[in-house]
Structure 1
Amino acid sequence: TTYRLADERVGVSAGVVADLASLAAIAPERFKIVHNPVYLSQDQPILEEAERVWGTSGGKRILTVSNLKPAKNHSLLIRAFARLLRSIDATLMLIGDGPLREELKMLARAEGVANRVVMPGFISDPKPFYLTADLFVLSSQYEGFGNVIVEALSCGLPVVSTDCPGGPAEILDHGRFGRLVPIDDVDALANAMAEALTTPTDRELLRQRAADFSPDKVAEKYLQLLFPDS
């Protein structure tokens, strides 16, 4: 009933709006979409510590940043990474912590890639890692929005994401600003990662896309909702 009484209803992505509309039995057209604001410090980061954590394995650097829980589907990423290594020398870093940490370590060992998978745990400021990576990958089964994709774009980092419910397709404009692959398709993810790592990227275009989700632009949209006649 709260949704029905509201003057405006807002979701952070079309996927969230669809869920809210179904939950409240209200037509999706009666909701507005205002994406999450995403901010990374503009201070010049110190990269030496990130370089140390990456280690000396060499090759391309693939990064993901998220809680290690089932919805993030890191097992898909590790399996796809194992296939990628057949043709491209690379290191995979999973920044974050969570209940699946040990299980994912076991999977990396089973896939024979444990020596190429780095799991440093939670890191409060991942910006130095975005700046020292070659590719960002999101392997989720669903997302509310996908702030980490915007964070990666803001650093000019190419992105591959599952086309999961929620924000990824909206952020990447259905493939214009990054590659989208079906959920749970190991081969598709491995192939998209290989393409992204071997294809030139317009990094400035990615930074410009990230600017669409700046706090100032998102605040402006909320102000338009609150004061439509101003």
Structure 2
Amino acid sequence: MRPRPDLALFAATSGHSGVDRIVANLLPALAGLGLRIDLLNIRGHGPHLDPVPDGVRVVDLGRAHVWPALPALVAYLKRERPRVLLSDKDKVNRAALAARALAGGDTRAFVRLGTTVSHNLASRPWFDRAVQTLSMRSLYRFAAGVLVPSQGVAGDFAAFTGLPRARIHVVPNPVVTPHMQALAAGAPGHPWLTDGGAPVILGVGELSARKDFATLLRAFARLRRQRPCRLLILGEGRRRERLLALAAELGIADDLALPGFVANPYPAMRAAAAFALTSQWEGLGIVLVEALALGTPVVACDCPSGPREVLADGRYGPLVAVGDDAALAAALAGLLDVPPPPALLAEAAAPYTVEASARAYARALGLELPACSPAPQENPA
């Protein structure tokens, strides 16, 4: 008979989201600490683990959507009785809490949210906003706890929902992996990063309103008038044509490249002269931590929430007001003139290693680790 799972993770993602990256790093690390883990799979959705590490079992719930999978999830909870059920994002969280109530037993259900809720919901259609607000304020009190990636998200969520702050646990995202440097050693992919020409400013993320790359383009146009430089933005999204039109309007089209989504952005991060995060809101800012870990100077908009915590109030990189392209241009110029030492940047990324994160998750979930826990595994994908 298979031992009772320590943790069952229930999620339904796009396959290339921030949650996918977190799961791909976190589950192998937790398994490496000796925990038995089930990844509950919705067909056609992520997260995907390739290869599946020892200690992790993928359980197919047999459905392609979250709510039709509810009976299978209830049956799984009754049959396997995992010590902890962890879910991520509101729709999945609602289904997980419903399944836990229907299944009974002593499984403790935790939910996770990765972004600043009040700002995220303000951008949603009214119906989605109403449903999610109701679920967070009424259903989440039945969870054993809520996991979030930053103190800013925790404070915002407590104020938004009225949930006691003690029920909300801040756990660092598992960003910095042992194989990150090896992945960064690959070819950068874009000729600007290897041709020895003007320095390259880098942005990474979905081409969406939330990421606000329009502010980065305006800041770059200011910087470009002062010195030779180029702007590379990795990512795909609905704002692509708008950004290209804005670049033409600003006269920087020849110095902007939008090559699309890149599965491994680390070589570009390491080769860039500076990295910019211009989001209107975040939960933490994973790409910000990745750039720091690879020794690239960073500047970030002081959005809610995450960048101020990651950059320690500006100790590890300048913070500018959201949407302030003049301040962003000045900060980028300063980084190009006097880049901070790589050791300082590595210090900023240290709290976000997979081992530190895995142990923090285990503590927050109340999972007791084996007496002699081995070193966490990594996902080599």
Give the TM-score normalised by the residue count of structure 2. 0.57
Residues 1:96 and 1:202: Cα distance change in structure 2 (over 3 Å): same
Q: Deviation string for 1:5-29 (max 9, x for gaps)?
A: 3333321112322332234222435
- 1:213 and 2:352 correspond: yes
- 1:9 and 2:146 correspond: yes
Aligned residue number for residue 37 of structure 1: 174
Aligned residue number for residue 7 of structure 2: none
Aligned residue number for residue 82 of structure 1: 221
Residues 1:200 and 1:94: Cα distance change in structure 2 (over 3 Å): closer
Percent identity between the aligned chains?
Answer: 38
Query: Within 5 A, what are the aligned runs for 1:98-109?
Result: 98-109=237-248
1:94 CA displacement = 0.6
Three-state SS of the structure 1 residue aligned to 2:300 is: strand
Aligned-residue RMSD, C-alpha: 2.1
Residues 1:109 and 1:58: Cα distance change in structure 2 (over 3 Å): same
Query: Within 5 A, what are the aligned runs for 1:120-139?
Result: 120-139=259-278
Q: Deviation string for 1:20-52 (max 9, x for gaps)?
A: 223422243542211211145342545545352
Aligned counterparts of 1:103 and 1:44: Cα–Cα separation in 2: 32
C-alpha contact 1:39 1:214 (8 A) present in aligned 2: yes
Greater relative contact order, per chain length (Cα 8 Å cut-off, separation 6+)? 1
Aligned residue number for residue 118 of structure 1: 257
Aligned residue number for residue 192 of structure 1: 331
1:158 CA displacement = 0.5
Aligned residue number for residue 148 of structure 1: 287
Q: Which runs of no fewer than 5 residues in structure 1 stay unpaired?
A: none
- Count residues in correspondence: 230
C-alpha contact 1:47 1:132 (8 A) present in aligned 2: no
1:58 CA displacement = 2.1
Q: Deviation string for 1:115-172 (max 9, x for gaps)?
A: 0011110000001101110100011111121000011001000100000001111111
One of 200, 210, 215 as aligned partner of 1:61: 200
Greater CA drift, 124-133 or 27-36: 27-36
Q: Tell which structure's C-alpha radius of gyration is larger.
A: 2
Three-state SS of the structure 2 residue aligned to 1:156 is: coil
Residues 1:127 and 1:20: Cα distance change in structure 2 (over 3 Å): same
Residues 1:174 and 1:122: Cα distance change in structure 2 (over 3 Å): same
Residues 1:216 and 1:57: Cα distance change in structure 2 (over 3 Å): closer
One of 308, 318, 335 as aligned partner of 1:169: 308
What letter is aligned with 1:18?
G
